[in-house]
A and B are shown apart, each in its own frame.
Chain A
Amino acid sequence: MSITDEMIRQATQDLYSWALRKVPDDTKDALRAAMEAETNETARKTLKLQLYSAEMAEKEDGFVCSDSGVPVYFVKIGTKAPVTGDLKKSIREGYEKLVETIDPPLLKHVTNPLTLERGYHGKDMPIVSYDLVSDAEYVEIVCSPKALGSGRWAAMELFTFPSLEEIETYILDVAIKAGAQHCPPVIMGIGIGGTFDHCASLAKKQTLRAIGTVNENPLLAAMEERLKKAVNSLGFGPMGTGGSTTALAVHCDFSSGHGFTPVAVAFNCWINRRTRVRLWGDGRIERLE
């Protein structure tokens, strides 16, 4: 009994395909709650339309959005997981199979930044990062395809010994700059500290956290509340046509570092693409999201 190439290939394909068709349940709940709370009539109508679009995509087994983004996977390998498959190779092959077989087909979004040529494949595609989970017997794979609409508004700045005020002011200014561009209401992921690369990764991972989960760190839990209220006070609203629902959630994480402190902000648009499976040695592909 082991985690095989075939299981990894299958999971890679399914995760991406699901992510394009289904808005996560926590996100739909958050959109519904926002619709109840909104006082702006246009904003309420847009939130209702977003929920309807999500429902239709599920019913018709179609895509919510035409921009299927670039493939991004996060792999967590349990140190006791019986893996016989070649993770790197099988994820690439799974993605290649997806491109050949998915219905409806994907548009060509993978872009060579030097020549602007577009296709399905390219250097470093799919983008995969690996991590270890002590003692776990499974391999967990998360897929979060990233498209232009929200992807291009992510930002990072490096400070030296910043106060909380400087950090939060920067985050608010990034939200103002993004304005109406990232298909709000969005999920904001914030990374504070560490190094340049680690901080960006923290921010990205916080966009993948389930909405409604409370931060274990009391300083960050308070910061999340404060920032969510602040961003929603800006008034951009759903699709930027006004209202008090610009962010469904603000999720923060931090890392120790040196006195130079990166602060990174990443966004997921309202469809919040995020799917997750665990692969087990007995052949099960357990769908978690």
Chain B
Amino acid sequence: MTEHDLTLPMSRENIEKLSAGDIVFLTGEIFTTAGMPTHDRLLGCLDGVEPLPFEFEGKTLFHLGSLLEEGEDGKANIRYMNPTTSTRFNPHMPRLIPGLGLRMTGGKGGLNAECAAVMAKSGCVYLSFLGGGAPIITAAIRKVIAVGWPEMISHYRIVNLEVERLGPLIVGIDAHGASVYDATKMAALERRDDILAQMRKERET
């Protein structure tokens, strides 16, 4: 396990240096949303329904939901931010990752093997955020740069943020298609019969 202090945006070459299981901290610009309707709408943008709210090429889109408030200076302010379950977006991500040109995505719970294959092809990693990590994640926010689709409810909006040492985050899926989620799931399925046999033995004693 290696720790990396990363500055965004990152080149494909540098993204490929990260391995599943590595720990990273991010400094720079990120995009966030926790909305299913937002993902549907982004797919619509790729189909030409409406223009994209931001240019995502070479950037990040994380599955993080936040409570936005308008500060006294009239600028948007985030009170708290935290990851949501990424597997909800398994149907969207195989098109969105290459379509938007994402170098990083992330949230909690990982993405499926189909997404991992797409990520390997287009040079993208998935980062695991701590669920229930709102105080830690929120503390890394330096400022809100812009808010996309403000007509949506707070956690559905696309928020463009500047962060400093956001982390620690774990590389859940690397840009070579290695996934800690697939690995742990496979291992669990392989162990299942032995575990059941052990339980049988314990019941009989």
On A, residues with C-beta under 8 Å from B are 41-42, 45-46, 49-50, 52-54, 56-57, 60, 62-67, 104-105, 107-108, 116, 118, 148-149, 152, 164-165, 168-169, 172-173, 176, 179-181, 183, 222, 226-227, 230, 233-237, 239-242, 269-271
Please indicate the chain A residues that have their CB under 8 angstroms from the CB of B187 in the complex: 234-235
**B61-82 CB contacts (< 8 Å) to partner A:** 65-67, 69, 79-82
B150 at the interface (CB under 8 A from A): no
> Would you call A172 and B132 a contact (CB within 8 A)?
no
| Closest A residue, CB atoms, query B87 | A181
Please indicate the chain A residues that have their CB under 8 angstroms from the CB of B14 in the complex: none
> Would you call B134 and A53 a contact (CB within 8 A)?
yes
| Closest B residue, CB atoms, query A184 | B131
> Would you call B67 and A105 a contact (CB within 8 A)?
yes
On B, residues with C-beta under 8 Å from A are 1, 21, 23, 34, 37, 65-67, 69, 79-82, 84-85, 87, 108-110, 128, 130-136, 138-139, 153-155, 168, 170, 172, 180-181, 183-185, 187-189, 191-192, 195-196, 198-200, 202-203
8 contacts between A and B (CB under 8 A): A42-B21, A50-B133, A57-B134, A60-B135, A62-B134, A67-B84, A172-B196, A242-B180
Q: A41 and B1 in contact (CB under 8 A), knowing A180-B109, A240-B110, A269-B131?
A: yes
A56 to B132, CA, bound (A): 11
Please indicate the chain A residues that have their CB under 8 angstroms from the CB of B80 in the complex: 62-63, 66, 104
A105 to B198, CA, bound (A): 48
> Would you call B130 and A236 a contact (CB within 8 A)?
no
Please indicate the chain A residues that have their CB under 8 angstroms from the CB of B108 in the complex: 149, 183, 239
> Would you call B153 and A118 a contact (CB within 8 A)?
yes
| Closest B residue, CB atoms, query A118 | B153
Please indicate the chain A residues that have their CB under 8 angstroms from the CB of B130 in the complex: 46, 49-50, 53, 239
A235 to B131, CA, bound (A): 18
A179 to B172, CA, bound (A): 14
| Closest A residue, CB atoms, query B21 | A42
A107 to B155, CA, bound (A): 7
A62 to B136, CA, bound (A): 11
- The smallest C-beta distance from B190 to any residue of chain A, in angstroms, reads 10
> Would you call B195 and A179 a contact (CB within 8 A)?
no
Please indicate the chain B residues that have their CB under 8 angstroms from the CB of A108 in the complex: 153-155
| Closest A residue, CB atoms, query B36 | A116
Please indicate the chain A residues that have their CB under 8 angstroms from the CB of B34 in the complex: 66
> Would you call A241 and B23 a contact (CB within 8 A)?
no
Please indicate the chain B residues that have their CB under 8 angstroms from the CB of A50 in the complex: 130, 132-133
| Closest B residue, CB atoms, query A56 | B135
> Would you call B196 and A180 a contact (CB within 8 A)?
no
- The smallest C-beta distance from A264 to any residue of chain B, in angstroms, reads 19
CB-based closest 6 A-B pairs: A66-B82, A56-B135, A183-B131, A104-B79, A234-B188, A65-B132
> Would you call B154 and A107 a contact (CB within 8 A)?
yes
A176 to B130, CA, bound (A): 20
> Would you call B180 and A241 a contact (CB within 8 A)?
yes
- The smallest C-beta distance from A133 to any residue of chain B, in angstroms, reads 32
Please indicate the chain B residues that have their CB under 8 angstroms from the CB of A57 in the complex: 134-135
> Would you call B198 and A230 a contact (CB within 8 A)?
yes
